[in-house]
Amino acid sequence: MLSLLQEWLHLLVRWAHVIAGIMWIGDSFLFMWLDSHLSQPTKPREGTVVGELWMTHSGGFYEVIKRKSLQPNELPPTLYWFKWESYSTWITGFLLLAIVYWLQGASYLIDSSVLALTQGQAVALSAGLLVAAVVVYDGLARTPLVGNLRAFGLLGLGLISATAYGLSHVFSGRGAFLHVGAMLGTIMASNVFFRIIPAQRAMIAATEQGKPVDTSLGLRAKARSTHNHFLTLPVLFTMLSNHFPSTYGSAAPWAVLACLVTFGVGIKLFMNKRLQTPAWAIAGTVLALAGVVGLTLPASAQASAQAPAGAVSDLRAQVIVLQRCTPCHALKPTHPSVTAAPKGLSYETPEQLKQYASQMLPQVKSKAMPLANLTQMTDDERAELITWLEAQGAGR
Ligand code: HEC
């Protein structure tokens, strides 16, 4: 009963997280798009007009005028803010992190072959990372370096890669990637909460009191929202990464992540600038993609043990799977950590083994399965199973 409740809670929170995320990222994309498409006013306009643009949607026409500041008497009765999209994405994301990675013995987070953490230690490291990331980022974003977006981006890429490298020596592969994403998402939400919204509040308060508005506040908020904007695609990848064990299970997961982050930023730049994208940025994006392909080719994937000398028989493969996988992957699992075949995958018959071979291979290779190695698969068994799965045509 408890595990059923937990599953429903998981579903509701995940659903809410995706919805909130779509709204937040949708806002970010729309406002960056608006800013980059403003043109000089076509007719005289009042106030500190930065630009204007026209759009058509929903059976009508929208006239948008951007002003840098307002006069006290110009404050509209209703002013729309965009902040709850961000806050609710973070809150649901944090709950999801706790439900999936902290509860149930933190079995998705701990990989004892990487580091034998206790549940308490893993949770403390996970939470500590989120706080530390905000402190470090915010410190850096107050230095003059923030004025140079390219240099700041390169430094960020270096720090993200270093974090991925460090985390892959602490957490399970999938836990490490997810935590890079959780860290970036937390930085983004903290930008909105601590910097962007307060700056906007201060500007409105000054307007209301008829004091001169410090527009540098708006510029600084804009720098933070630009950082957020370029982080969206990399963060989205890390959130999906747990479905792609060949990325976090490769020989150099931090390098794969660095390439994917670069690729995500490059694609966002291209979406913004289209044909005006500088050649160096296009070259970097293509190189990053080539890097991902090169780094995840089977030859460079992690070999957990010496490959067994000869072929592995069907019977031997079945014995290994029955012992190490079917405690969970069965119609009626016997392992206490699951109540139904995870993802509907049961490996009880020789036919099922062959049918799912190509799905099993990356999970076994990357050590994502058996989950947290709860069934204590040995390195030799893993190597034997990999050989057998490859002989079935998996991974080709
Ligand atoms: C302790 C329980 C447990 C054991 C043992 C286990 N698994 Fe899993 N497996 C899971 C759970 C839970 C999931 C769902 C993971 C998720 O939600 O991302 C899963 C998911 C999978 C998936 C689907 C992954 C995806 O994201 O599509 C494959 C394939 C898989 N396991 C293969 C195996 C193989 C092969 C073994 C044996 C070598 C094994 N598992 C052992 C619990 C287990």
Could you write out the three-class secondary structure of the chain? CHHHHHHHHHHHHHHHHHHHHHHHHHHHHHHHHHHHHCECCCCCCCCCEEEEEEEEECCEEEEEEEECCCCHHHCCCCCCCCCHHHHHHHHHHHHHHHHHHHCHHHCCCCCCCCCCCCHHHHHHHHHHHHHHHHHHHHHHCCCHHHHCHHHHHHHHHHHHHHHHHHHCCCCCHHHHHHHHHHHHHHHHHHHHHHHHHHHHHHHHHHHHCCCCCCHHHHHHHHHHHHHHHHHHHHHHHHHHHHHCHHHHCECCHHHHHHHHHHHHHHHHHHHHHHHHCCHHHHHHHHHHHHHHHHHHCHHHECCCCCCCCCCCCHHHHHHHHHHHCCCCCCCCCCCCCCCCCHHHCCCCCHHHHHHCHHHHHHHHHCCCCCHHHCCCCCHHHHHHHHHHHHHCCCCC
Residue 52 one-letter amino acid: E
Determine whether the shortest distance from the Cβ of 364 to ligand 1 is under 6 A: yes
Which residue, among 277, 97, 252, has the nearest Cα to 186 in the 3D structure? 97
140, 191 in Cβ contact below 8 A? Answer: no
Q: Which of 174, 369, 374 to mutate to test the pocket of ligand 1 (most atoms within 8 A of CB)?
A: 369
Determine whether the shortest distance from the Cβ of 324 to ligand 1 is under 6 A: yes
Determine whether the shortest distance from the Cβ of 333 to ligand 1 is under 6 A: no
pLDDT of residue 366: 83
Chain center to CA of 169: 19
CA of 6 to the centre of ligand 1 (A): 18
Determine whether the shortest distance from the Cβ of 175 to ligand 1 is under 6 A: no
Q: Which atom of ligand 1 is nearest the CA belonging to 375? A: 5
Residue 10 one-letter amino acid: H
Domain spans in the chain, listed from the N-terminal domain onward: 81-300, 314-391
Determine whether the shortest distance from the Cβ of 374 to ligand 1 is under 6 A: yes
Question: Please, which contacts does 50-55 make with residues 24 or more away whose CB atoms are closer than 8 Å?
Answer: none
pLDDT of residue 372: 81
CA of 334 to the centre of ligand 1 (A): 14
- Angstrom distance (rounded) from CA 152 to CA 129: 21
pLDDT of residue 374: 86
**Which residues on adjacent β-strands are paired with residue 301?**
250
Hunting for tokens 């995500």 — which residue is that?
264
Q: How many residues does the chain have?
A: 396
- Angstrom distance (rounded) from CA 391 to CA 385: 10
Q: pTM of the full predicted structure? A: 0.85
In this structure, how many other beta carbons lie within 10 angstroms of the beta carbon of residue 23?
16
374, 107 in Cβ contact below 8 A? Answer: yes
Taking CA atoms only, the protein residue closest to ligand 1 atom 10 is: 342
Q: Which atom of ligand 1 is nearest the CA belonging to 382? A: 38
89, 80 in Cβ contact below 8 A? Answer: no
pLDDT of residue 306: 61
Q: Which of 3, 312, 371 to mutate to test the pocket of ligand 1 (most atoms within 8 A of CB)?
A: 371
Determine whether the shortest distance from the Cβ of 242 to ligand 1 is under 6 A: yes
pLDDT of residue 301: 46
CA of 231 to the centre of ligand 1 (A): 30
pLDDT of residue 299: 59
What is the mean pLDDT of each successive set of 10 residues along the chain, which is 396 residues long? 83 98 95 93 91 96 93 90 96 96 89 91 98 98 94 97 97 95 98 95 92 86 94 97 89 95 96 92 97 82 59 94 95 88 92 92 89 89 94 82
Angle between helix 379-391 and 357-365 (nearest 10)? 150
pLDDT of residue 337: 80
Chain center to CA of 5: 26
pLDDT of residue 310: 81
Angle between helix 149-167 and 215-240 (nearest 10)? 40
- Angstrom distance (rounded) from CA 98 to CA 123: 9
